[in-house]
Amino acid sequence: MATTHHVADILAQHLSNYKKVHALTYQQQRVCQHIKDCRTVKLGAQQWQCDRCEHNKTVYCACRDRHCPQCQGHVSEQWSEQQSKDVINAPYFHLVFTLPHELNGLARQYPREIYSCLFHAVWQTLSQFAQRKNSYKAR
Ligand SMILES: [Zn+2]
């Protein structure tokens, strides 16, 4: 039988040691705490009972953090469904710009500066593409 590992269990076991070596931002600490507390007694619970058979079930509250793997699936499904209603019936491009992993540390320390540079570079790149004739035609 395969063992199931949850991010919450890994954080509970290793986050304190990780924090001894790596600094977390306030936001990162909050996310970790939400994931650790999700669907536990720490966030409260509801007692559900069937009216017919009187079966009882304790349902623990979810953190609803967008980074939480237990909560993300349902929320992201709802988001995707909502976005699909807004997609126009026309050709379009979905572009993703990423930073090299070597800049992750700098992005954590100076997010405003790094992401400002990224968006500036993205804007320059897209502007150059837009100025090329026929660069947008699908093949
Ligand atoms: Zn959650």
Do 101 and 37 lie in one domain? The reply is no
* Within a domain: 82: no
Q: Does residue 139 fall inside a structural domain?
A: no
Pair 2, 69 in one domain: yes
Ligand 1 center from residue 70 Cα (angstroms): 5
Q: For residue 91, with 0-12 CB atoms within 10 Å meaning exposed, 13-18 middle and 19 or more buried, which class applies?
A: exposed
- For the chain, how many structural domains are there in total? 2
Expressed in angstroms and rounded, the spacing between residue 99 Cα and the centre of ligand 1 is: 27
Q: Do residues 20 and 58 share a domain?
A: yes
Same domain? For 36 and 1 the reply is yes
| 122 CA to centre of ligand 1 in angstroms | 33
CA of 85 to the centre of ligand 1 (A): 26
Calculated CA dihedral for residues 116, 119, 123, 124, nearest 10 degrees? 70
- 59: tokens are 């349902």
Distance 12 CA to ligand 1 centre (A): 14
Which of these, 47, 30, 37, lies nearest to 6 by C-alpha position?
Answer: 37
Q: How far apart are CA 136 and CA 129, in angstroms?
A: 8
Whole-model pTM over 0.85: no
Distance 38 CA to ligand 1 centre (A): 4
Count CB atoms within 10 A of the CB of residue 54: 7
Domain that holds residue 124: 93-130
**Tokens (6 digits) for 3:** 């063992």
HSE of 103 in the Cβ direction (CA atoms, 13 Å)?
11
Both 32 and 60 in a single domain? yes
Residues of the chain scoring pLDDT < 70: 1-2, 73, 75, 134-139
Question: Would you call 2 helix, strand, or coil by DSSP?
Answer: coil
What pLDDT, on a 0 to 100 scale, did the predictor assign at position 21? Answer: 95
* CA 32 to ligand 1 center in whole angstroms: 10
In a domain, 20, yes or no: yes
